[in-house]
A = this chain, B = another copy of it.
């Protein structure tokens, strides 16, 4: 790799602009650690004049991201738009085909097209890095790919979405309704102002589960859903009832091998207030890995927000600048297997059911009667 490296950042939302500013501020530190001089050669977003947290250099601004490649020789591209398809996929695909390294926090893109894109990266001998796609600032993908590389992992699970964890914590702490806390989360930048749906319905956490499975079990990204349920239907009442039982509601993402089948799920769980996972609150994420010979390992950190996300994006940048070409999923695409999805017919679990009924004689008998007929 040559000494002067040209960088492009596509997408200047909350994460993109923070990253832009971090790269400018940390140029010297990055040169110290890698020996490379980095230079932001191009930036792109929909609107050049949008109000942003940091000032941008308008001379390097492109309205159409694909125009960049006609004018500049880019070495490393950050895709920070965040679509699962559309322009995000187009740009990443174009970059990899043209031997440009790609770094992205885009879990939707990787969960959907990660297999295809990693193959492209391998063929073109460039890197596709996505540490920031799972659990924000926690170096969880690196830990699975490198730090725990030879362990036999059986289960990876945890709190993978900072937005929903913040909402659940805040509802408990302030006694406010889901809707009110959601508005607060949006104001604080923890939830998307326009469409927070993908966080709330479990989709975002599920995308992360898929990526974790692929890395932990060396398999291709699975296409089948087991259970995906979000927190939209959780009311303050439920949180209070749980609390009386010394429990908390947490949205857990779980990936596990059961009888050689892949069980992947995201749903709200009742966990003990005494347990570790019951005390991971606010925007904190936590990932728990069970493996051999490592035993149980925990990684916890801030899972949302431009700061932690940029921390992981820069970790990927340094990894590339240090000159390593690595398989995006730890092993060659050819060698990644396919795990059978778990047969949901064999699935059984405990459930919490809340009934709202009129206070009259025989109501419990009526309910149990109905349930018996299910």
The interface bits of chain A over 269-300 (1 if a CB of B lies within 8 angstroms of the residue's CB, else 0) are 00000001001000000000000111111111
Stretch at the interface among A99-107, A243-251, A258-266, A309-317: A309-317
* Complex alpha-carbon distance, A231 and B21, angstroms: 47
CB-contacts of A1-39 with B (<8 A):
18, 22, 26, 29-30, 32-33
Residue numbers in B under 8 Å from A306 (CB-CB): 293
A268 within 8 A of B: no
Interface size class of A (residues with CB under 8 A): 35 or more
A308 touches B293 (CB 8 A): yes
A139-B147, A276-B279 as given contacts; A301 in contact with B297, CB under 8 Å: yes
The interface bits of chain A over 129-151 (1 if a CB of B lies within 8 angstroms of the residue's CB, else 0) are 00100000111001100111111
A300 to chain B, nearest CB (A): 4
In chain B, what residue has the closest Cβ to A136?
B294
* Complex alpha-carbon distance, A276 and B147, angstroms: 23
Residue numbers in B under 8 Å from A142 (CB-CB): 139, 142-143, 146-147
B301 touches A300 (CB 8 A): no
A97 within 8 A of B: no
A307 within 8 A of B: yes
A150 touches B29 (CB 8 A): yes
B300 touches A297 (CB 8 A): yes
Residue numbers in B under 8 Å from A276 (CB-CB): 276, 279
Contact partner, A294, options B29, B147, B307, B335, Cβ 8 Å: B307
A318 within 8 A of B: yes
A335 touches B32 (CB 8 A): yes
A154 to chain B, nearest CB (A): 14
* Complex alpha-carbon distance, A142 and B139, angstroms: 9
Residue numbers in B under 8 Å from A26 (CB-CB): 150
Q: How many identical subunits does the complex contain?
A: 2
A224 within 8 A of B: no
A142-B142, A148-B139 as given contacts; A311 in contact with B294, CB under 8 Å: yes
B292 touches A307 (CB 8 A): yes
A150 touches B294 (CB 8 A): no
A322 within 8 A of B: yes
A326 within 8 A of B: yes
A315 touches B147 (CB 8 A): yes
A323 within 8 A of B: yes
* Complex alpha-carbon distance, A298 and B142, angstroms: 15
A105 to chain B, nearest CB (A): 14
Residue numbers in B under 8 Å from A322 (CB-CB): 324, 326
* Complex alpha-carbon distance, A315 and B149, angstroms: 6
Given contacts A143-B147, A295-B307, 6 further A-B contacts (CB under 8 A): A22-B150, A143-B143, A150-B311, A293-B306, A294-B311, A324-B324
Q: Which 10 residue pairs of A and B lie closest in terms of their CB atoms, listed nearest first? A: A139-B147, A293-B307, A297-B301, A298-B300, A150-B314, A295-B302, A137-B294, A149-B318, A294-B311, A142-B147
Some 15 contacts from A to B, beta carbons below 8 A apart, are A29-B150, A32-B335, A33-B149, A33-B330, A137-B148, A137-B293, A137-B295, A142-B142, A143-B147, A147-B315, A149-B315, A292-B307, A293-B311, A297-B302, A322-B326
